[in-house]
Amino acid sequence: MKESINGTVWKDINGNPIHAHGGWILFHGGWYYWYGEDRRERYYVSCYRSRNLRDWEFRRHILTMDSRMEAYRVRTKLQLQNEDGGKVNLERPKVLFNEKTGKFVLWAHFENGRDYTAAAAAVATCDTPDGDFTYHGHFNPYGYMSRDCTLFQDDDGTAYFISAARDNADLHVYRLTDDYMNVERLVHRLWQGEYREAPAVAKIKGRYYMLTSFCTGWEPNQAKYAWADAIEGRWSCLLEIGDETTYHSQPAFLLQKDGRTLYFGDRWGGDGEAYFSSSYVVYPLELTEGRLAIKPVEEIWL
Ligand code: GAL
């Protein structure tokens, strides 16, 4: 990647801008797969892959307005266009590989494309990490609102879906069923009334850490983090991290590589056309005497 400066628009190996906002990286079979929002044309989610986190090859628009739709046992609404034929929103897509079913399972935040009232979770699957995903629709877990979201897979394969509920006031943690296709239990309603969004989780030195932002739309704010000895155990209070704008970014996800933890954030351009000037930052996370810190390096740090 030639443009190795944080906050610039990164290019793939063909010189095209990478469209993978609010994204996620899954390491599978020796490749890093980068998924994220692609709001151009009829696309929703794009996928790139790399062996080294620097040279990214575009693979596919894995979810589009024309993706195959298939109902499954969970009652969902199968809707990849709104009533006017316009686009819906599929934000913050995350993908896990399910060992038991051999499927790549994607969860995202669904909205109707006009406003943020749907506040739902969407599910899609594929047999390969970068193939055409089949869309299984959206639903409100146990009837709750579900906005900014992430996934987390624990060492034993147990997976969690974490999303902002009650107009973002509370952050819910749902344990997933063992096929990752549904929620099985609401295990936490964290930090009620603290309005956390953009959750990102990693296990560092045996402890679980979760970064979140406050709710200021596209404008960055100061992230906070909390820790726990188990996802379903007790979480700490929220502690500040970074500066008042989290070095001009909002958490997208955390990635572990070579024993280090990387913070991937979005530097959002804003609404409409401005969205397309959104860029990315990668900062190392440092854990010193139990305190987590973001190192705001200028060069992309991989
Ligand atoms: C942010 C959220 C983004 C996007 C944006 C829209 O708060 O984290 O994913 O939904 O609002 O304004």
pTM summary value: 0.98
In whole angstroms, give the CA distance from residue 192 to residue 119: 17
Q: Which amino acid makes up residue 152?
A: F
Ramachandran category for residue 178: left, alpha or beta (phi over 0 → left; psi -120 to 50 → alpha): alpha
Residue nearest to atom 5 of ligand 1 (CA): 217
Residue nearest to atom 12 of ligand 1 (CA): 217
Whole-number pLDDT of residue 31: 98
Whole-number pLDDT of residue 1: 46
Mean pLDDT by 10 residues, the chain (302 residues): 78 97 98 98 98 96 98 98 95 99 99 97 99 98 98 98 98 99 98 98 97 98 98 98 98 96 98 96 95 94 78
Q: Which of 197, 249, 267 to mutate to test the pocket of ligand 1 (most atoms within 8 A of CB)?
A: 197
Ligand 1 atom with the shortest distance to the CA of 215: 7
Whole-number pLDDT of residue 302: 78
- Name, in order, each residue with C-beta under 8 angstroms of 196's C-beta and a sequence gap of 6 or more: 164, 168, 171, 190, 212, 213, 214, 215, 224, 238
Q: What are phi and psi of 75, to 5 degrees?
A: -75, 115
Whether 138 and 120 have beta carbons less than 8 Å apart is answered as: yes
Whole-number pLDDT of residue 3: 60
Give the per-residue SS3 of 255-301.
EEECCEEEEEEEECCCCHHHHHHCEEEEEEEEEECCEEEECCCCECC
In whole angstroms, give the CA distance from residue 4 to residue 301: 8
Ligand 1 centroid to Cα of residue 29, in Å, is: 32
Ligand 1 centroid to Cα of residue 129, in Å, is: 26
Pocket of ligand 1 (CB under 6 A): 22, 91-92, 148, 197-198, 215, 217-218, 250
Residue nearest to atom 8 of ligand 1 (CA): 198
Q: Which of 24, 88, 91, 146 to mutate to test the pocket of ligand 1 (most atoms within 8 A of CB)?
A: 91
Whole-number pLDDT of residue 194: 98
Ligand 1 centroid to Cα of residue 26, in Å, is: 22
In whole angstroms, give the CA distance from residue 110 to residue 146: 8
* 66-78 pLDDT tens trace: 999 999 999 999 9
Ligand 1 centroid to Cα of residue 120, in Å, is: 14
Ligand 1 centroid to Cα of residue 100, in Å, is: 33
